[in-house]
Copies of this chain bind each other. A is one copy, B any other.
Amino acid sequence: MKLIAKLFDVDSAEPRVVVHRDDCRELGVKEMDRVRLNGASSHVIVVSISDTIVKKGDILIPRTIMSKIGAVDKKPIEVVYSPNPDSVKGIRKKMDAAKLTRDEIHEIVFDILENRLSKIEISAWLTALYINGMDNEEIANFTQSMVNTGEKILFDRTPVFDFHSLGGVPGNKITPIVVSIVAAAGLMIPKTSSRAISSACGTSDFVEVFCKVELEAAKLKKISETVGGVFAWGGSMNIAPVDDMVIDIEYSLGINPRAQMLASILSKKLAMSATHLLVDIPMGAGTKVKTLEEAREYARDLMELGNKLGIRTECAITYGDQPVGNAIGPALEARECIRILEGNAHPASVVEKACDLAGMILEMGGVPDGATKAREILSSGQALAKFRQIAEAQGGKKDLTSEDIELGKYVNDVKAVRSGYVHSINNKDLVAIARAAGAPADKGAGILLLRKKGQRAEKGDILFQIYADNQAKADRARDIAIKLEPLDIEGMLIKKVPNPSALKSI
């Protein structure tokens, strides 16, 4: 039927047209069914039904779709019922725990890209993926589809080294250090990172404290080829866009299906033309990977998938039971990161992790005894020089120092309520406190740890400091900190175990 196109000026995560209930009855569409709009070009889109915001005979069309199909405001457009896309069958098949073919997977990925699947269907897809999973052949096809539906960056230099951390451990500010060391050794490492979704600070969140992270593809390519590396935000290019399109839904459901996670990592690396990849798998109570068993499984899968996709992949299982270093939050992490590049030997955990991982990449690139070489590059100041070169190329200040980083001006101390040893640190609680303080949106907000695991604190000692950009947030974060007690302090005697026979007599 013909309906009059009207502009629907709404920003929605999910583009929809709105059609009057009577017209929907005529078209035979129900809420969440789809129609095809036949303009200069044709487009399939999900329908919302309304009695009030649209008149009978009209159809509200989002601006992006209007221009895509060449529709004109207030002019008629042909609207026909469109059956469910075939990809819905693939989703049903995964609900029934069946293995999907390459074509079925591609249809799903493509229909997500084209907004042909509703959020309800994508939610069911992710849930089915979470519960029923994929084998490595499916994941390799899934990865390839995600790459093919986006932009691919091609370099004139090869090999292309890359690095990824599975995340889940706060304070993991090693990326600029690793990139600077590797690039200083003469290898090219065009590293893209992400922003925080549920964490306190993603790599891009703290890098943009001292330079721009949104790089166009051409600029990223140029800096990488000439300077040797970048610390860019992956979202600034259109690489594997489908992954970004489902992240909101994953976040809302609190799931990150293994197949989605693996395909997400590898598709971004494949789109960056990586030939060699090191994956850091932090393991510990608060991270994505709880046990060595699980970490090994991820490592095996990543290496097998890497082989299938033509990326030589190695993995490092790292200690993730407490934050890496002492700083959590954009400015705090940026300062700690630059300080280490400037020659500070502390926090030792950051130095050690960065050098060991950079060393593995160097060895993949043919450098013998990589970890020693990495330490040399760091201690000699070559890494700092390379870091400054990259930061400047990305629009940062010339001769950047850690003194340039401004922290939040409102600081609350959190003190030990008893004497003893730090038995454990709850990563998730620290993230909640840092977020309450304003991280990652407020660049100055975060946490500076003065005690870490195994260290002794006397009652009244400062355990950590909360930084914030205003007093209200600093106080709110402190209140949460007092409630959560993220650092567990106990004496050496943890629990008295009474004699079982004495127990019986109670």
Contacts and interface: CB of A to CB of B under 8 A. Distances in A.
A128 interface: yes
Copies of this chain assembled into the complex: 2
A285 interface: no
B13 A31 contact: yes
A452 interface: no
Interface residues of A, number: 45
A92 interface: yes
Nearest to A92: B254
A121 B50 contact: no
A221 to B, nearest CB: 31
Nearest to A253: B124
Interface in A5-54: 9-13, 25, 28, 30-33, 48-53
A9 to B, nearest CB: 6
B30 A248 contact: yes
Contacts of A255: 92, 95, 124
A131 B11 contact: no
Nearest 7 pairs of A and B residues by beta carbon: A123-B123, A127-B127, A120-B123, A32-B252, A124-B127, A11-B50, A131-B131
A474 to B, nearest CB: 15
Interface of A: 9-13, 25, 28, 30-33, 48-53, 84, 88, 91-92, 95, 97, 118-124, 126-128, 130-132, 248-249, 251-255, 435, 441
A268 B412 CA distance: 56
Given A118-B252, A127-B131, 5 more contacts: A11-B49, A28-B435, A33-B252, A124-B124, A127-B128
A119 B121 contact: no
B84 A120 contact: no
Contacts of A48: 12-13
Contacts of A32: 13, 248-249, 251-252
A84 to B, nearest CB: 7
B127 A10 contact: no
Contacts of A435: 28
A200 to B, nearest CB: 12
B127 A251 contact: no
23 contacts: A9-B53, A11-B50, A11-B52, A12-B50, A13-B31, A13-B32, A13-B48, A13-B49, A31-B252, A84-B254, A88-B253, A91-B253, A92-B254, A92-B255, A95-B127, A95-B130, A119-B119, A119-B120, A120-B120, A120-B122, A121-B253, A123-B124, A131-B132
